[in-house]
Amino acid sequence: MSIINKRKKTIEMGEDRNDDLLGILLKSNAKEIKEDGVGMSMEDVIKECKLFYAAGSETTSNLIVWTMVCLSLDQEWQAKAREEIMQVFGTREIHFEGIKHLKIVTMILNEVLRLYPPAIMVIRATHKETQLGDMMIPPGVHISIPIIHVHHDPEIWGEDATQFKPERFTEGVASATKGKGGCFLPFGGGPRVCIGQNFAIIEAKAAIAKILQRFSFEISPSYKHSPFPSFTLPPQFGVHVVLRNI
């Protein structure tokens, strides 16, 4: 609240030069209130900031971190990803057109999203009577979808469901899930699928590409594997890796 109040004062005094999320949000809200007399409360603004931080920052950083863990433990796939990145970009800067051609990196990220989904579960509510398989669910029922369990189900993914095997996604998600696309839900699904899905994937590809261009890495002896299921899935004790310049 103190950060928001301080920023509001600088905006009111015409001294604010920040075009970050909070500044844009407060300026837009002030304009709405001035023109329509109605806008977001400060509690709403705080919730928006928390949402962007949790859903737009922590989740993507977790994806990048778990990708580094998996590639540290599987040097063969790390080498394959680096070779693809060097073929596409060389030592040049990462660019959007090149990112679209990173097939191996896409396979790796999909497998990391399967093993370590950014959100371990989602909740949906029925607003009308809904048929779900053999069940008829009345309106007003909250349904928990345990994404992390679906992603590790051996009936869907095979007996090696707990293993890091990006080759599952060689022919894309539809092939990996045997046509059951609803079994792969790293960003949820349906009308309320994560609005930041495409941006998060591009951001993760760019970050991994820049790291692999410059470094090789392996797990430090001090690393303790500790996925910590809360709303997201961070490593409870952090991730210790050894980086080496290429």
Q: What is the pLDDT of residues 175-185, one digit of tens each?
A: 998 877 689 99
Average pLDDT over residues 62-66: 96
In the 8-state DSSP scheme, what is residue 218?
Answer: E
pLDDT of residue 181: 67
Average pLDDT over residues 16-23: 77
Q: Return the structure tokens found at 217.
A: 């890495």
Q: If pLDDT is split at 50, 70 and 90, which confidence band does 18 have? A: low
Residue 53 lies in a domain: no
pLDDT of residue 36: 87
pLDDT of residue 136: 95
pLDDT of residue 52: 77
Count of CB atoms situated within 10 Å of the CB of 56 = 17
Residue 28 lies in a domain: yes
Q: If pLDDT is split at 50, 70 and 90, which confidence band does 103 have? A: very high
Residue 227 lies in a domain: yes
Range of the domain at 36: 1-40
Residue 51 lies in a domain: no
What is the distance between the alpha carbons of residues 19 and 15, in angstroms, rounded to a whole number? Answer: 12
> Is 110 found in the same domain as 34?
no
More confident residue, 148 or 56: 148
pLDDT of residue 8: 83
> Is 122 found in the same domain as 234?
yes
> Is 233 found in the same domain as 116?
yes
pLDDT of residue 38: 87
Count of CB atoms situated within 10 Å of the CB of 231 = 13
User: Which residues have C-beta within 8 Å of that of residue 135, sequence separation ≥ 6?
Assistant: none
Residue 50 lies in a domain: no
Closest among 210, 218, 242 to 78, alpha carbons compared: 218
Average pLDDT over residues 196-209: 94
pLDDT averaged over the chain? 91
> Is 176 found in the same domain as 116?
yes
Measure CA 8 to chain center: 31
User: Which residues have C-beta within 8 Å of that of residue 90, sequence separation ≥ 6?
Assistant: none
Closest among 14, 111, 3, 124 to 53, alpha carbons compared: 3
Q: If pLDDT is split at 50, 70 and 90, which confidence band does 152 have? A: very high
Q: If pLDDT is split at 50, 70 and 90, which confidence band does 39 have? A: confident
Buried/exposed code over 186-206 (b: 16+ C-beta within 10 A; e: otherwise) = bbbbeeeebeeeeebbebbbb
> Is 66 found in the same domain as 9?
no
User: Which residues have C-beta within 8 Å of that of residue 157, sequence separation ≥ 6?
Assistant: 114, 151, 168
